[in-house]
Structure 1
């Protein structure tokens, strides 16, 4: 039977992630840190969070989510060290925030950039298709910010 900590750990991670998002949205990006939770074996469930913000206008929100499901979601699920992600949307700024949890910075950074570029190209193609935009058009959801949240 799992311990109390093990049963509530996913909830604690989500609550901590939500707190980080709120702090980021109110402009505290420079000082936000994510405290990793130790597991019983002494490792960490989350060692780093990849933090991205992209421009997502209201009329493109559904297309963004559809493109994510058809590209990044299945690809990330196959990556070593990937623990999960949260997609959030701010209607005031019309930005999507992506918080991608990794077991280690090393696992995240070991992914070849060529693979990332291929998945990004697929994401952009799916987004343009969903919005009936010309394929020659630039990324319909450009990157606004990228960073990482680390344990202290």
Structure 2
């Protein structure tokens, strides 16, 4: 005999709760019909500003999932007045495998050149898992959806750069 009295009483109680819930008018708005209101600066997909990337590989080395793949080549740059030409890295490939990514944000924090940003976009599901590898062009498309940083607190301390500029202008 079951704890509720007769056999199947738990099933009957569960069905009663389900029926009561189904007949009640719901005020919950469902996702496909209504887009959710996300908090500002929420994490969605990682965006790449390729012009800022110097191929330092810090993001790839710091990634705990090893889901960032970077390839580059060196290019000579002639500098007027320099004794010899300089070399710079040119980004050839920057891919992020979102099927491996755990969205920790370490790559964004590790980038000293502000090449990686969080975009609040989250609707990038794919039918094939191989399509979750986004290349630099696709990652670049997400840059347009990155919200601007929050405004500085007007009652807070001014930035160090502003303080230094004020000191220099007062000394001049």
> TM-score band (shorter)?
under 0.3
Which one has a bigger Cα radius of gyration? Answer: 2
Compute the TM-score of the two structures, normalised by the length of structure 2: 0.20
Q: Which has the higher helix share?
A: 1
Compute the TM-score of the two structures, normalised by the length of structure 1: 0.21
